[in-house]
């Protein structure tokens, strides 16, 4: 199939090694042979952004800073003085707990209005859910604010993979978790059934906003499907807690 | 004492070993934080906080995983939270002054920087990257400045490789657009390398 200029433009901006698949590479090459405008753009993009190579050459590390080391060690001593305990070493979470945290964080990231998913967009989703005849829960979106703290703790501990949303390690079926486990985890983080309900209903509607989330937020179709598969169980267990 | 031994002894609570660990890795953490936050003071605060958290959670860290990826992730998360907070504040300020204060890049009538050298252009890119949305900025810094692979960037940022590419596309497109509006056109410099 012939590549469109819009897709070519996207691939042209992904010009560094490992950013295009071999199939994309070949398709783009074919396109550029027949499209003067895109061929010119390809040359200009690389030329315009070439100076970033200089920044890479500066190296990955800043010069050592003894003052910073002293500050860190002072912070560690202060932590210990205040009775801040280190995490126990040998204890490891059971598999389902880790999976449940990851799954819970998917939902919580929806709820907490990350940069990529603003309250405005959540409110729009809520309207769309209502318009679609789905039983939207009436909770204000501000109700999700307290989750920020819990999320921050998960992130700081390195237990939640990152700021955008969790992702399982490649090949890990991290969503193999039953609805009751997920509900318990959500409950322990302060999630309320009404807000979770909005999100699950929105996922079920699968509107264009979700497609946007899908692309930017890393929540792929498979993950959505698994969440929806546990939808009723999650909600009923959450309500029962 | 090699880095593995430093790591193991730190994990067991040896504070002198932990000092050595901080000395060994702080440069990487600081470079990343400075590039994400644009301020050395803020970056040092973030790195200090990050290492204290490392100390606290180190006993539960799986030694089979890459320590630098974990450290980068903690630094990234702390910086990202700061970026989001800064952006909320700056939006509030912008809302009050939008009409009287157009963005620096692309002001009408601004003379193009015709003699811009590659080094200056690089600094311009660095400066412009501070105006990117936090998600794009994070991905741009990790991939294009810190030179992490797409896979590593995804691991540190906690997103899929597809989302890395999506943010990278938007970031590069936005930066290029701003460079152009600032009068930095093609063929003005040649930095070479992998472009």
Dump pLDDT digits (tens) for A176-195: 345 666 666 566 656 667 66
By residue range, what is the domain housing residue A13?
Answer: 5-50
Nearest to B193 among A10, A47, A53 (CB): A53
pLDDT at A119 over 50: no
How confident is the model over B113-140, as a mean pLDDT? Answer: 80
Taking the CA of residue A76 and the nearest CA in chain B, the distance in Å comes to 6
Query: pTM of the predicted model, to two decimals?
Result: 0.58
- What are the structural domains, with CATH classification, of chain B? 1-99 (1.10.1740.10), 116-188 (1.10.10.10)
Residues 125-164 of B with CB under 8 A from A: 125-126, 133-135, 138, 143-147, 149-151, 154-160, 162-163
- Cβ atoms within 10 A of the Cβ of B92, count? 9
Q: Between residues A183 and A104, which one has the greater pLDDT?
A: A183
Within-domain flag for A13: yes
Cβ of A81 under 8 Å from any chain B Cβ? no
Residues 99-128 of A with CB under 8 A from B: 115-116
In a domain, A55, yes or no: no
| Residue whose C-alpha is closest to residue A61's, from B93, B191, B24 | B24
Structural domain total, chain A: 2
In a domain, A196, yes or no: yes
Flag whether A188 is in a domain.
Answer: yes
Question: Rounded to an integer, what is the distance from CA B66 to the centroid of its chain?
Answer: 19
B132: left (phi over 0), alpha (psi -120 to 50) or beta: beta
pLDDT for res A103 = 52
Window 202-231 of A: residues touching B by CB (8 A cutoff) are 215-218, 220
Residues A214 and A106 both lie in one domain: yes
Looking at the complex, does the CB of residue B56 fall below 8 Å from at least one CB of chain A?
A: yes
Same structural domain, A27 and A116:
no
With beta carbons under 8 A apart, name residues in chain A contacting B52: 72, 75-76, 79
Task: Look at A210 and B56; give whichever has higher pLDDT.
Answer: B56
Q: A41 and A104 share a domain?
A: no
Q: Minimal Cα–Cα distance from A175 to chain B, Å?
A: 15
- Position A102 in a domain: yes
Same domain membership, residue A221 and residue A104: yes
| Residue A69 within any structural domain of the chain | no
ipTM: 0.76
Inter-chain residue contact A72 with B52, CB threshold 8 Å: yes
Q: Which residues of B touch A46 (CB under 8 A)?
A: 195
Which residues of chain A have a CB within 8 Å of the CB of B189? 50-51
- b/e per residue, A82-94, with b = 16+ CB within 10 A? eeeebeeeeeeee
* Ranges A133-142, B29-38, B155-164: which has the least confidence: A133-142
- Is residue A119 in some structural domain? yes
Nearest to A86 among B59, B122, B124 (CB): B59
Residue B173 to residue A10: CA distance in whole angstroms: 9
Average pLDDT (A90-108) is 46
Please report whether residue A137 resides in a domain: yes
* In a shared domain, residues A46 and A158: no
pLDDT at A66: 87
**Nearest-angstrom CA–CA distance, B55 and B19:** 10
Q: Is the pLDDT of residue B132 over 50?
A: yes
- Please tell me whether residue B91 adopts helix, strand or coil conformation: helix
Beta carbons of A163 and B59 less than 8 Å apart:
no
Of A61, A217, A220, the CB nearest to B27: A61
């Amino acid at each position: 199939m012939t590549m469109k200029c819009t897709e070519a433009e996207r691939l042209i901006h992904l010009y560094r090694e490992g950013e295009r698949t071999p199939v994309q590479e070949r398709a783009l090459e074919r396109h550029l042979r027949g499209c003067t405008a895109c061929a010119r753009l390809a040359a200009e993009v690389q030329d315009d952004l070439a100076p970033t190579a200089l920044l890479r050459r500066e190296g990955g590390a800043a010069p050592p800073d003894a003052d910073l080391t002293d500050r860190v060690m002072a912070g560690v001593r202060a932590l210990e003085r205040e009775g801040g305990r280190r995490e126990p070493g040998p204890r490891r979470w059971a598999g389902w707990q880790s999976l449940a945290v990851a799954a819970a964080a998917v939902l919580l990231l929806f709820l907490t209005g990350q940069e990529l998913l603003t309250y405005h967009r959540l409110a729009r989703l809520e309207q769309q859910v209502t318009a679609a005849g789905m039983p939207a829960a009436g909770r204000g979106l501000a109700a999700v604010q307290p989750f920020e703290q819990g999320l921050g703790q998960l992130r700081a501990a390195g237990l939640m993979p990152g700021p955008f949303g969790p992702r399982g390690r490649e090949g890990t079926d991290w969503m193999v978790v039953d609805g009751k486990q997920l509900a318990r985890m959500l409950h322990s983080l302060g999630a309320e059934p009404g807000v979770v309900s909005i999100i699950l209903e929105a996922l079920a509607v699968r509107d264009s906003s979700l497609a946007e989330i899908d692309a930017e937020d890393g929540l792929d179709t498979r993950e959505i499907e698994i969440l929806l598969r546990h939808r009723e169980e999650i909600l009923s267990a959450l309500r029962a807690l | 004492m090699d880095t593995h031994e430093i790591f193991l002894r730190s994990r067991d609570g040896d504070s002198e070993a932990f000092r050595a660990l901080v000395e060994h890795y702080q440069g990487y953490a600081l470079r990343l934080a400075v590039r994400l936050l644009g301020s050395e003071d803020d970056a040092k605060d973030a790195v200090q906080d990050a290492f204290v958290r490392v100390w606290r959670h180190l006993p539960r860290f799986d030694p089979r995983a890459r320590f630098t990826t974990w450290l980068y992730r903690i630094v990234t998360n702390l910086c990202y939270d700061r970026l989001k907070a800064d952006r909320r504040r700056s939006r509030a300020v912008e809302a009050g002054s939008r009409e009287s204060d157009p963005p620096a890049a692309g002001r009408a009538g601004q003379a193009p920087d015709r003699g811009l050298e590659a080094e200056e252009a690089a600094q311009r890119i660095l400066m412009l990257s501070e105006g990117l949305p936090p998600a794009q900025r994070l991905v741009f810094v990790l991939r294009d400045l810190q030179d992490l692979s797409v896979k590593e960037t995804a691991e540190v940022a906690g997103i899929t490789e597809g989302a890395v590419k999506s943010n990278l596309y938007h970031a590069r497109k936005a930066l290029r657009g701003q460079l152009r509006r600032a009068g930095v056109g093609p063929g003005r410099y040649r930095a070479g390398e992998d472009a």
